[in-house]
Amino acid sequence: MKYRAENMPFENCRIPIMLRFCYSDNFAADPVYKKLDSMTEGFAGRVVKSEGFEGKTKQATTIHIPGKLKLEKLILVGLGEKGKSDPEAFRVAAGWVSRLDGIKGAREIAVAADGFEKREIISAMIEGFVLGGYENLQYKSERRDERKNESLVFHYKDIKHQMEIEQGIENGGIISEGVVLARNLSSDPSNFLTPESFAGKAVEYGKKYKFSVQVLDEKKIAREKMGALQAVAQGSDNPPRFVILRHNGGRKDAPPIVLVGKGITFDSGGISIKPGLDMHEMKQDMTGGAVVLTTMITAARLNIKQNLVGLIPLAENMPSGRAVKPGDIIKSRKGITIEIINTDAEGRLILADALDYADKFKPQAVIDIATLTGATKYILGYAGAPIMGNNENLIDAIYDAAEATGERVWELPIWDRHREDMKSNIADLKNSGGPFAGTIKAAAFLENFIGDWPWGHIDIAYMDLEVETQSYIPKGPTGFGMRLFVDLLSNWKKL
C-alpha cells in the first residue's frame, strides 16, 4: 500500500471514501462532522442519530453525502473518551474499520487528519489499518485477494503540519511492513522455512536493507562449542544455523544493544514428543527469531541511531535415532553442563548458547524474546507477555515501550527457590524444573548464561498467535514484540 499527504480541506477531497476518527466527548463539536452536518443541512446529524453513533470504541457509521462532491461517503469511527485516547486508541479504531466491507474493496481511502497531525497518531492509524486488514494468501492456489486498497491519503488544512504528517506516514508504513513480514515468516510451514532457508532469507534482507549478516553453519557452530544448540538439532535431517545481524547506527565506539530470538523452525518436542493436537502450530516456534530479524530490518530502514546486534539460533527439534534423550548430559558453550530432563524444553538450550555468545560484543544490554513456555497461558493468557530480568531500568524501558505500542508486558520475579529448582544432582543444571512456575524457572535457567550486563527476557508463548480477532490483530500470527522493540530502540536511554 502507498501513503501520501494532501494539503486541502476535507470537503475538496477527490476520493470517494473518507474516514474521520472522533472522540465520544462532545462528539457533536468535532469540526469535520460539524461542517459536514452544516453542508448537508442537518442530514449528517440525522444519520448519526438514527445509527446511535456516539464516538465510542468499536463504533462506526457511514454518512452517504448527497450532492455533487466527489467525496461520496464519510465514515465516522469512534475513539472513546479523549482523556483515555492515545496512539493505541487510533491503532485499535483503524484496525476495526479496516475490515468493513465497504473499506476492503476500496482502491483509495482518505483520512480527515485535522487535529490529529502528530506523527505518532498518523503512524498508529497506518499500523492499525494495515495490520487489521492483514491476510496471508501466499500458499493459496487461487489467490483471490478481496482487498483492493492501494493508497491511504491524509488530508490536512494547515501546511505547518506537513513534515510531521510525512514523518508519521514514513514511520507507520515501515513499521507495518515489518510486522507483516514477521507474521508471514511465522506462518511459513517448516517444509519451506528450515534453519538453512531462514538464514538465507536473513542474508537477502541484509543485502537489501544494508545491514551486516553472518551465518555460522554446523561446522562453525561446532567450532564455537555450542553444544546446547547442537544437541537440540542433532535429531533432525536439517542442520542448525546461527545468524548474526549487525546494524551500526550509533557512535563507532558505542557498545551495542543485543537482541536474541529463539529460532526453532519446528518443535515436535523431540523424544518427549508433544500431543498431536495443535502440533501444526509448532512451525511458529521461531517467532522470536522472526521478531529479531524484522526489528533489524526496520531499524535499518528507520535509521535508528543505535548500534544493534541480532542473534538467532536456528534448529529443528525432531525425534530420531540421533536425537538427544531424557537423561543425557550436554555441555553448553559456556562450559556449563546440563542434564536433559525433557527434550521439549529445547528453546532455553539454544538461547543459552546465544546469550553466552552475546558476551563477545561487550553489550550495553541484552534482551531475548522467545515462544518459550506453555505456562504463560496460565499467567497472562493471551493478553500480554511475562518479562523478567536483572536491571529495573531496562525493565522500566520495556514497560514504556509496551505502553506506547499496546504490546503489553508484566514483570515476574526470579527467586532463589526457582534457581535451586534448576540445579541438577549429576550436572550443573537441568533443563526442566517441573510443572510449577515453569515460565520463571526457564528464566532462572537462562540467567546462568548472561554476562555482566543488563538483561531482559520476554516470553511470547501464546502472544505469537491470536485465537480470536482483536482490532488490528486478526486471528493468526501476531508479530508481537517487533513494534515494542522498535519503540524501545528509537527512544533508548542509557541504563
Active site positions, annotated: 274, 348
CA distance 22 to 131: 21
Chain centroid, CA 215 distance in Å: 23
* Coil, helix or strand at residue 140: coil
DSSP state of 176: H
Helix, coil or strand: residue 355: helix
Angle of helix 392-405 versus helix 482-490 axis, rounded to 10: 120
Task: Please provide residue 14's backbone torsions phi and psi, each rounded to the nearest 5 degrees.
Answer: -95, 5
- Phi, psi of 376, rounded to the nearest 5 degrees: -60, -30
Instruction: Yes or no: say if 93 and 139 are a contact pair by the CB < 8 Å rule.
Output: no
| Integer Cα distance of 440 and 432 in angstroms | 11
DSSP-assigned states of every residue in 396-461 = HHHHHHHHHHT--EEE----HHHHHHTB-SSSSEES---STTHHHHHHHHHGGG--SS-EEEEE-T
The C-alpha atoms of residue 89 and residue 471 are separated, in whole angstroms, by 10
* Nearest alpha carbon to residue 342 among 374, 380, 382: 374
CA distance 491 to 195: 32
Cell representation of residue 495: 541504563
